[in-house]
């Protein structure tokens, strides 16, 4: 039986619906709640992982948020720390907690979530979020160099503008329409398109891919 550890912060309804879907497919899921924008939250999740008795073969560092849009004069030290903790520090220390087991077994996959913001500096009031996602891309390369010789794949995905709850919170229709007009694919992305690439990076066909950040943006940004 496949076993999943599912982290969430506040959206309990959504995570419970996911658990039921996994059960329908014969999988077992355990919920871990923590606010990764704070040091105690990061430490709590790592503690819950260690106490679970589950040895992860796949880690998807998907926690992240803009938290709020704020330009230079408005940005506080607390907001800076929250954004960096949630998007960067949590990914680093969760990987630190999970990687030893992967190394011991000689295989594993870590997939980090970057963003197109890492390439273009982000939209209005998103500079520190963009910096955090650029850090993720750099961390992905560094960890791949360290862990690839031990059988552990470390890669990242970098979504463009995905039409999901993130942009319901932080964008408006005018902003989304502007991105859409510049996107060669003629549509915004969706969660499934991102999930499909994550799945690919955790399977055998990606076996010779290490340290890459895969851009998923409908051609909005071409490297």
Catalytic residues: 129
Token digits of residue 79: 């907001």
Residue with the two structure tokens 């998007």: 87
What is the C-alpha R_g of the chain?
Answer: 17
Dist CA 124 CA 126 (whole Å): 6
Residue with the two structure tokens 């709020």: 68
Token digits of residue 88: 């960067």
Based on DSSP, count helices (H) and strands (E) in the chain, helices before strands: 9, 6
Dist CA 94 CA 32 (whole Å): 13
């Amino acid at each position: 039986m496949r076993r999943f550890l599912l982290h969430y912060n506040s959206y309990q309804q959504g995570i419970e619906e996911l658990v039921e879907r996994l059960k329908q497919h014969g999988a077992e899921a355990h919920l871990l709640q923590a606010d990764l924008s704070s040091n105690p939250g990061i430490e709590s999740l790592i503690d819950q992982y260690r106490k679970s008795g589950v040895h992860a073969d796949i880690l998807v560092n998907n926690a992240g948020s803009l938290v709020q849009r704020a330009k230079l004069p408005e940005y506080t030290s607390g907001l800076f720390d929250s954004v960096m903790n949630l998007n960067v520090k949590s990914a680093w220390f969760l990987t630190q907690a999970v990687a030893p087991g992967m190394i011991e077994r000689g295989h594993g996959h870590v997939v980090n979530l970057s963003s197109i913001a890492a390439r273009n500096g982000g939209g209005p009031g998103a500079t520190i979020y963009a910096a955090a996602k650029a850090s993720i891309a750099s961390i992905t390369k560094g960890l791949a160099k360290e862990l690839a010789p031990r059988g552990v794949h470390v890669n990242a995905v970098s979504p463009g503008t995905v039409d999901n709850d993130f942009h319901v919170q932080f964008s408006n229709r005018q902003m989304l329409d502007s991105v859409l007009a510049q996107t060669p694919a003629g549509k915004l992305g969706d969660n499934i398109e991102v999930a499909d690439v994550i799945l690919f990076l955790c399977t055998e066909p990606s076996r010779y891919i290490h340290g890459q950040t895969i851009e998923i943006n409908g051609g909005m940004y071409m490297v």
